[in-house]
């Protein structure tokens, strides 16, 4: 699984944690609000930390695209900075 995929999965799980946190306030079920508060914020914080750890040192999409274009343009040829 690529880092980009993991980043997207953890981002969705962060938003799911926020939705779990807000559920009792939207539905009006305040009797179990503490459970939803702990579960939602816990999920959001854990997934946020994992997202940071998993993408540490990851380049941005723009840098990855530029690097891929550079590699594809140099296939079979010499390096542009190579001396002849």
DSSP notation for 7-44: HHHHHHHHHHHHHHHHHHHHHT-GGGHHHHHHHHHHHH
Give a yes or no: residue 47 inside a domain.
yes
**What total of structural domains would you count in the chain?**
1
Question: What does the pLDDT read at residue 83?
Answer: 55
Mean pLDDT of the chain: 80
Q: Is the pLDDT of residue 21 over 60?
A: yes
Give a yes or no: residue 32 inside a domain.
yes
First-to-last C-alpha distance (Å) of the chain: 41
Give a yes or no: residue 68 inside a domain.
no
In whole angstroms, what is the distance from residue 32 CA to residue 39 CA?
11
Q: Is the pLDDT of residue 66 over 80?
A: no
Question: What does the pLDDT read at residue 41?
Answer: 94
- Boundaries of domain holding 46: 3-55
């Amino acid at each position: 699984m690529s880092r980009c995929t993991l980043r997207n999965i953890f981002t969705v799980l962060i938003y799911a944690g926020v939705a779990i946190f807000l559920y009792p306030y939207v539905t009006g079920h305040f009797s179990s609000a503490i459970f939803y508060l702990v579960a939602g914020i816990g999920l959001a914080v854990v997934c946020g930390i994992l997202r940071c750890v998993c993408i540490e040192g990851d380049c941005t999409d723009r840098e990855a695209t530029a690097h891929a274009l550079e590699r594809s343009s140099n296939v079979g040829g010499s390096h542009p900075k190579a001396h002849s």
